[in-house]
Amino acid sequence: MRLKGYDYAQAGAYFVTICVQDRLCLFGEVVDGLLVSNRYSALVARAWSDLPNHYPHVSLDQFVVMPNHVHGIIVLADIGADFKPAVRAGLKPAPTKRYALPEIVRAFKTFSARRINEIRQTPGTSVWQRNYYEHIIRSEADYTRIAEYVIDNPRRWSEDSLHPDNAPVVDTAIVAAGFTPDHCHRGADVVAGLKPHDHGDAGVGAGLKPAPTDARGLR
């Protein structure tokens, strides 16, 4: 799902979507366009906001917790000679090593899942799907579309491709043949105003590029 050969440690802004395992609505419900959160969604929001404490080259932009996924914009800054790690009360200075986007997302998923499983008393249980979707933000217009999409996501929940009522119909014969449908991100990027050719840089085979066809015509 990552762009082959792209350095995800380099400075830039990245739009990420991370889905709950099996798309379960673990983080509350949307009522009248607003998320009625619960203690799990509060832990997720806290894990997100805590990322700059662990990664000083990270700054956070728009973010939203939805019932079964999160959207957020992560900005990776340059680490130059004048860069100083943030020091906060009670915290050790964060390391100045530059971490790439996959490590930062992994940390967010690990921190939040651990805290959720402590409350549920289900150690080791998967909270998040294994992978995640990302898009490299390359322009101001790109950023504006995505930021508006993140902000409006609760209001448009009933139309969201990740809403349980909008799950795609799965051909059980295809699944039996060993083909797993990728339903997590299909359509979310299009709603955000991103066209298929915009994602050539992001390697979004999960939603916009057609899957390879085998000899039987199955995808």
Q: What is residue 198's DSSP assignment?
A: G
Domain range for residue 73? Answer: 12-199
Note whether residue 47 is domain-resident. yes
What does DSSP say about strands 34-36 and 29-31: parallel, antiparallel, or unpaired? antiparallel
Residue 207 lies in a domain: no
Residue type for position 150: V
Q: What percent of the chain has pLDDT over 90?
A: 63
What is the pLDDT, as a whole number, of residue 167?
73
pTM attached to this predicted model = 0.72
Does a structural domain hold residue 109?
Answer: yes
The strand order across the sheet containing 12-19 reads: 58-66, 69-76, 12-19, 133-137
Q: What is the pLDDT of residues 168-183, one digit of tens each?
A: 654 444 344 444 444 4
Q: Is 25 helix (H, G, I), strand (E, B) or coil?
A: coil
- Please check whether residue 188 lies inside any domain of the structure: yes
| Beta carbons of 131 and 1 less than 8 angstroms apart | yes
120 within some domain: yes
Least confidently predicted of 7-11, 62-66, 84-88:
84-88
Question: CATH number, domain at 162?
Answer: 3.30.70.1290
In whole angstroms, give the CA distance from residue 26 to residue 39.
10
In-domain check, residue 213: no
Domains of the chain: total = 1
Residue 205 belongs to some domain of the structure: no
Q: If pLDDT is split at 50, 70 and 90, which confidence band does 154 have?
A: very high
- Is residue 133's pLDDT more than 50? yes
Is residue 89 assigned to a domain? Answer: yes
Contacts of 83-90 with C-beta under 8 Å, sequence gap 24+, read: 83/56, 83/57, 85/56, 86/52, 86/53, 86/56, 88/53
Mean pLDDT of 73-86: 68
